[in-house]
Structure 1
Amino acid sequence: MAASPRPAALRALRLTAFRAFYRLPLRWRRRLVRMGTAHYIVGAVTIVRAADGRSPGRILLLRQPPGPGWSLPGGLLNRGERPVVGAARELAEETGIRVDPADLRPGVPNAIVHSSGRWVDMVFEASVPADQPFTVDEAEVHEAAWHPLDALPRLTGPTARLLAHYGIGPLAGRPEDD
């Protein structure tokens, strides 16, 4: 049985397209690739645990505009900023808690891809004294408070999904519920 001429024609067309693409200047090739690929925003988030020995443990949550739910300290990385530095910066900006980037531990998993929102969170963990006072940035944060792991308040959807990867919150054990 003879092969269909169509696949051969498609192969020839594909080969011609790739040859033309690789003749373009590198700058143009990069632009074309960027236009045709998914774009993700990268942020850094910190799960801050109270170092007070209480059982169950407590984590620091923020109530931020515009929604009614609680979330974790974090934000977008600056261009060229290392994720651990961005996580420490965002924690200090939003809560006044200063942690040396070297004292932040990478979460396991360290990167959470939110495919529906097209962003990636680099997750870090820290333990700080529970009696450390908060200085919230009132433009970004309405309130910061410690919450027991077994009695968390209403979380934002992305926060609940992120914490599920660490066995925390209402979606624990179901992190894929995007």
Structure 2
Amino acid sequence: MNDDALEPRELGAYFVLMEAVSLLQHRIEQQLRAEGDISSVQFQLLARLAGAPGEVTMTQLADGVVYSRSGLTYQAGLLEKAGLITRRPSPDDERATLVAVTDAGRDLFRRLLPGHVQVTRLLFDPLTPADVEHLREVMTRVRDHLRAQPPRSAAPRKRRSGDASAAGGAKRTTRAS
């Protein structure tokens, strides 16, 4: 088999997976917008924070929801402005920002969860318990294989051609982590 090409079976499975994920994601977005006026990414952030024992760093949050740093910073800003989360500099690491869910954020998460579960049932209703277990096993292997690569937050940032550091200068800007 050529490693650069997918077999027809693999290609078919890939497209069915992508279509199913897109359809489910669309339904989830509709439910969250209608019931809570938040996006699925914002819901994921609230879910992670609601389940955390305390504050987490923005980097941990980005790795957990698999989202870019800049996109996460924007989404966290919207949630903070709405009073659903708090952000503050870490006292232990000047590069880190700590994030926590507020009572209002936890309440919104709890209010949205039943509708979210109802939409998520669309994935599980046509499956048998054995199908669900097999799906969990397969997707866990896929996730673990994909996560074997370093998280995006650990990847070096690309330098722009106009950066002082790229031009040999010592000045470096710090971004939220």
Settle same-fold status: TM greater than 0.5. no
Larger CA Rg, structure 1 vs 2: 1
Greater strand fraction, Structure 1 or Structure 2: 1
TM-score, normalising length from structure 1? 0.22
User: Higher helix share goes to which structure?
Assistant: 2
